[in-house]
Chain A
Amino acid sequence: MSPSRTDSATRNASPTAPPAAERTALRHPKDLLLREDRLPHIWCPTCGIGTCVASFIEAIAETGIPEEKFAVISGIGCTGRVAGYVKLDSFHTTHGRAIPYATGLHLAHPEMKVVVFSGDGDLVAIGGNHLIHAARRNLDITIICVNNFIYGMTGGQLAPTTPHTARTTTSPKGNWEYPFNVPHLVASCGATYVARWTSLHVRRMRQAMREAILKRGFSLVEIIAPCSTLYARKNRLGTGYDLMKFYHDNCEVRHGADTKELDIEFQQKIAVGKFVDVEKPTFLDRIGAGRKK
């Protein structure tokens, strides 16, 4: 029991609440992996990021790997704030640069499970070059990409994942660019594990995260999640709840689908599932082999 946890329990004590010690005994297991002294978090009501964090924390527990062996690395963005809320060694880097930072950490300290947790803009726009090279190298790291189709943190601008015709503050008449198909992008670069779920699929997402963490090699889990405040509002899609309903009605589980066919069109069916799960020597395996020569 760390002192900070008791502190925050004491701080929040109300006259009717049970004594702090008793309440800590009743804690939800998830809380143990959150920095409670940093709560409340910054995310908006019905934002999808929180669900992803909850599933991630459960996935960590399910792997059976000691928590102190995990490092969470984020870039900048609403999703980038995840690093600050998990009670693990964590680094909140610069915009787009979580992956090269994770690369250095992983290679210097291979016993760690290095997980990059960041947004679509961070990982696929400004950090896109690092993403494809990390996949190409087959670094044994895990990427969790929360794709809300938009730049949340900066107020709802166009992302390279924004579907064609969707409105953002910098595509006020609708986006005319072609968006990235993230699973296809990383699969074509050599990723060994690729899955896509939505923040509605908490059980599947948790399972995918667990598998990704345990995968020896480059793994990526894309989570489609509502940005209720900006994406939903700009496109008149209701609240985060309405988007979850949309996922419920429009997701198609297509395990093993050809990643070429995973494009996302505005408010059309979304293919979800596990698309890639293969074995391949990692960067460090190959360094080892190279050295023996």
Chain B
Amino acid sequence: MSAKHAVLTGEHFMNGDVAAAEGGLAAGCTFFGGYPITPATEVAERMSERLPEVDGIYIQMEDEIASMCAILGAAWGGAKSMTSTSGPGFSLMMENLGLGFMTETPCVLVNVQRGGPSTGLPTLVGQQDIMQARWGSHGDYEVIALAPNSPQECFDLTIEAFNLSEQYRMPVLVMTDEVIGHMTEKVVIPPPEQIRLTPRRYTRRPPAEYVPFATGQDLVPEMIKFGEGYRVHITGLTHDERGYPVINATEQAKLVRRLVDKVRRNAERILRVEEDGTDGAEVVIVCYGITSRVAQMALELARRKRKRVGLMRLVTVWPFPEARIRELARQVRGFVVPEINLGQIVYEVERCAAGQARTLLVPHAGGDVHPPEAILRAIEEVLS
């Protein structure tokens, strides 16, 4: 595969869905298994056109369950792999997303969020899957989820998602939304040599010395590719370092702890937030995705009224910036949390604020974005 075809260096106008697909290709993705669903279809369409150009495989699977499984299988076959979906498809992927966490399989899932529940608003925006991203599959695990707020970031953060998935050996979620997915803006694609890629962490040990799930300090095991003589057994059952099923409380504690700790202990390294005027602010807006762009307008309106307001944008929604919110809670009067749902991330903010600062949700059921005035009113309420 040549980097020349994979990376469309230059300035483009493209929507967020297409940009996410291009981000995947620039990251070296050579396998996409998906199922059409609005508003994520353009990711799959772009991949069906582009993957053959880089000798990759696009396959339209029979459903989203199959799509999720296929990208796991492709990863063990040595490919960087991804899928994309929305609402109902995201729900269908949950069981096998869990298999991805359990088997520590690197891959990327792009969820272009629409309004729900159920079939909900196929063509209109929502941010209602943010908690599902965190807790949607059964059992205990930690996730990494990135929330772009522009087509440019759909490109950049999809690459970042691939890098994180290789670094921590786990599926990584890109949680975009219908507005970002369908918004066309300038996207600058750098030359391949300027794109930093994390390679798969393949073992250098010979088969006789390789223990599939043994780890060092960073708790991330080394990987292999099927077909190279390692003869590994990979299972969704609780397993020991050899990968063999062991059904007891001791192995469960060891494995699940490690799966959780490999993210928790590295949370500060994974975390990315953007702050604007949070030092000395009396109110901080905590937001992510498309809502951060509306919040930016509210911020300007408030500043025009000489209010001391700051903004924190979660670029990674998960892991959540707990320590930073705790710190800010001691300095501000309150947090305003606009999200296109009736309250999800607000509970995280409230938990971390722990009564030290007021936390006010600006709910919005979905279908369009908040009016900036609604956010402004919440700011004024905190200050009154």
Partner-B contacts on A (CB < 8 A): 2-3, 35, 37-38, 67-69, 71, 73, 83-84, 87-94, 97, 99-109, 111-112, 129-130, 133, 287, 290-291
Complex Cα spacing A35 to B62, Å: 34
Establish whether residues B226 and A84, one from each chain, have CB atoms under 8 Å apart when the complex forms. Answer: no
Name the B residues within 8 Å of A99 (CB-CB).
66
Name the A residues within 8 Å of B234 (CB-CB).
90-92
- Which stretch (B73-81, B176-184, B214-222, B327-335) binds chain A? B73-81
Name the B residues within 8 Å of A291 (CB-CB).
52
Contact of B63 among A69, A73, A129 (CB under 8 A): A129
Counting from the closest, the 5 A-B pairs by CB-CB distance are A104-B73, A108-B77, A109-B77, A104-B70, A100-B66
Establish whether residues B78 and A101, one from each chain, have CB atoms under 8 Å apart when the complex forms. Answer: no
Question: Which partner residue on chain B sits nearest A133 by CB separation?
Answer: B62
Name the A residues within 8 Å of B67 (CB-CB).
100
Contact of A97 among B33, B71, B96, B244 (CB under 8 A): B96
Partner-A contacts on B (CB < 8 A): 30-31, 33, 52, 57, 59, 61-63, 65-67, 69-79, 81, 95-96, 99, 103, 207-208, 225-237, 242, 244-245
Q: How far is the CB of B245 from chain A (nearest CB, A)?
A: 6
Name the A residues within 8 Å of B81 (CB-CB).
104, 108
Establish whether residues A109 and B225, one from each chain, have CB atoms under 8 Å apart when the complex forms. Answer: yes
Complex Cα spacing A2 to B231, Å: 11
Complex Cα spacing A92 to B245, Å: 10
Complex Cα spacing A69 to B207, Å: 14
Establish whether residues B226 and A83, one from each chain, have CB atoms under 8 Å apart when the complex forms. Answer: no
Pick 23 A–B contacts, CB within 8 A, sort by A.
A37-B244, A38-B244, A68-B227, A73-B73, A83-B233, A89-B230, A89-B231, A90-B231, A91-B235, A92-B237, A92-B245, A93-B236, A97-B96, A100-B33, A105-B74, A107-B57, A108-B73, A108-B81, A109-B226, A109-B227, A112-B77, A133-B61, A133-B62
Contact of A111 among B72, B103, B227, B235 (CB under 8 A): B227
Establish whether residues B73 and A102, one from each chain, have CB atoms under 8 Å apart when the complex forms. Answer: yes
Complex Cα spacing A112 to B99, Å: 22
Contact of A92 among B31, B57, B236 (CB under 8 A): B236
Complex Cα spacing A109 to B231, Å: 15
Known contacts A68-B227, A68-B231, A89-B231, A104 near B77 by CB under 8 Å: yes
Most buried by A among B52, B70, B78, B208: B70
Q: How far is the CB of B252 from chain A (nearest CB, A)?
A: 17
Complex Cα spacing A83 to B76, Å: 15
Complex Cα spacing A138 to B172, Å: 31
Question: Which partner residue on chain A sits nearest B59 by CB separation?
Answer: A107
Question: Which partner residue on chain B sits nearest A35 by CB separation?
Answer: B233
Q: How far is the CB of A127 from chain B (nearest CB, A)?
A: 9
Most buried by A among B225, B230, B233, B235: B233
Having A68-B228, A133-B62, one finds 16 other A-B pairs with CB under 8 Å, namely A83-B233, A88-B231, A89-B226, A90-B231, A91-B233, A94-B95, A100-B61, A104-B71, A105-B76, A107-B31, A108-B77, A109-B225, A129-B66, A133-B61, A287-B57, A291-B52
Establish whether residues A69 and B227, one from each chain, have CB atoms under 8 Å apart when the complex forms. Answer: yes
Complex Cα spacing A88 to B229, Å: 8
Name the A residues within 8 Å of B71 (CB-CB).
104
Known contacts A2-B208, A38-B244, A104 near B74 by CB under 8 Å: yes
Establish whether residues B31 and A108, one from each chain, have CB atoms under 8 Å apart when the complex forms. Answer: yes
Name the B residues within 8 Å of A89 (CB-CB).
76, 226-227, 230-232
Name the B residues within 8 Å of A67 (CB-CB).
231
Name the A residues within 8 Å of B242 (CB-CB).
37
Name the B residues within 8 Å of A111 (CB-CB).
227
Establish whether residues B72 and A101, one from each chain, have CB atoms under 8 Å apart when the complex forms. Answer: yes
Known contacts A101-B69, A103-B59, A108-B81, A92 near B235 by CB under 8 Å: yes
Name the B residues within 8 Å of A133 (CB-CB).
61-62, 66
Name the B residues within 8 Å of A71 (CB-CB).
226-227
Establish whether residues B79 and A108, one from each chain, have CB atoms under 8 Å apart when the complex forms. Answer: yes
Complex Cα spacing A37 to B231, Å: 14
Complex Cα spacing A91 to B225, Å: 12
Name the A residues within 8 Å of B235 (CB-CB).
83-84, 91-92
